[in-house]
Chain A
Amino acid sequence: ETGVTQSPTHLIKTRGQQVTLRCSSQSGHNTVSWYQQALGQGPQFIFQYYREEENGRGNFPPRFSGLQFPNYSSELNVNALELDDSALYLCASSMGQGAGTQYFGPGTRLTVL
């Protein structure tokens, strides 16, 4: 069984640029959630996708957007990057809505200069 994978591992961007982060969910999982973890803090929920539809969103501006594909992999897009977007971005997959535990990938470390 393949776990959750994320790419890239690290990324450096400058303010105002756009970035796309990718996540492959664990085999058999159809729900993907994205979290932002600033340094020294707990993860904060960005949004969740269930069967290719957005299924809940946290307190993040519209420049944070996402997609889920038919194979249940997912992308997180962030436009107009700001310095405060520097964080570890975590993807988690689960089987169904509230039907199973969320399993996390290793994360993508984004640095905005």
Chain B
Amino acid sequence: GDSVTQMEGPVTLSEEAFLTINCTYTATGYPSLFWYVQYPGEGLQLLLKATKADDKGSNKGFEATYRKETTSFHLEKGSVQVSDSAVYFCALEDSSYKLIFGSGTRLLVRP
């Protein structure tokens, strides 16, 4: 079945460092891909999405490009802030319109 694999955390960075969180997927066809963020004690917030190959999703300085050749959707940000500390989830929408999530990657940004 469809699945999503994320790099394990925690990822610890200093403020203004470059961030990459790897995400790869296995799916039948070409699903829509998403990044959600979860702050402590809260639900999930949509960060960005891409619906077809080579699409680039972006929001709040975060970017991810839908790579069909490598079945990847890596999340990047050029300069992280302390306020970016959270858990990040990569997800795909399968053919039944349900979201399949990775296990999440915790990001800790230190001042």
B44 at the interface (CB under 8 A from A): yes
Contact flags A42-60 to B (C-beta < 8 A → 1, else 0): 1111001000000110100
Contact present for B43 and A33 (CB under 8 Å):
no
A98 at the interface (CB under 8 A from B): yes
Contact present for A104 and B98 (CB under 8 Å):
no
B100 at the interface (CB under 8 A from A): yes
A105 at the interface (CB under 8 A from B): yes
Q: A98-B93, A101-B46, A104-B44 are in contact. Are A42 and B98 (CB under 8 A)?
A: no
Chain A residue nearest to B95 in the complex (CB): A98
Q: Which residues of A contact B34 (CB under 8 A)?
A: 101
Bound CA–CA A105/B46 (angstroms): 11
Contact present for B43 and A104 (CB under 8 Å):
yes
B99 at the interface (CB under 8 A from A): yes
A90 at the interface (CB under 8 A from B): yes
Contact flags A12-43 to B (C-beta < 8 A → 1, else 0): 00000000000000000001010100001111
Q: Say which size band chain A's interface belongs to.
A: 20 to 34
Q: Which of B73-111 contact A (CB under 8 A)?
A: 89, 91, 93, 96-104
Contact flags B6-34 to A (C-beta < 8 A → 1, else 0): 00000000000000000000000000001
What would 14 A/B residue contacts be, using CB atoms closer than 8 Å? A31-B97, A35-B99, A41-B103, A41-B104, A42-B89, A42-B102, A43-B44, A48-B97, A56-B96, A97-B97, A98-B93, A102-B46, A104-B45, A104-B46
Starting from the known contacts A42-B102, A43-B99, 10 additional A-B residue pairs (CB-CB under 8 Å) come to: A35-B99, A41-B104, A42-B89, A42-B104, A45-B100, A48-B97, A97-B97, A101-B34, A104-B36, A107-B43
User: Which B residues are within 8 Å of any A CB, using their own CB?
Assistant: 4, 34, 36, 42-46, 49, 89, 91, 93, 96-104
Q: Which 7 A-B pairs have the closest CB atoms?
A: A42-B101, A104-B44, A98-B97, A106-B43, A45-B98, A107-B43, A104-B43
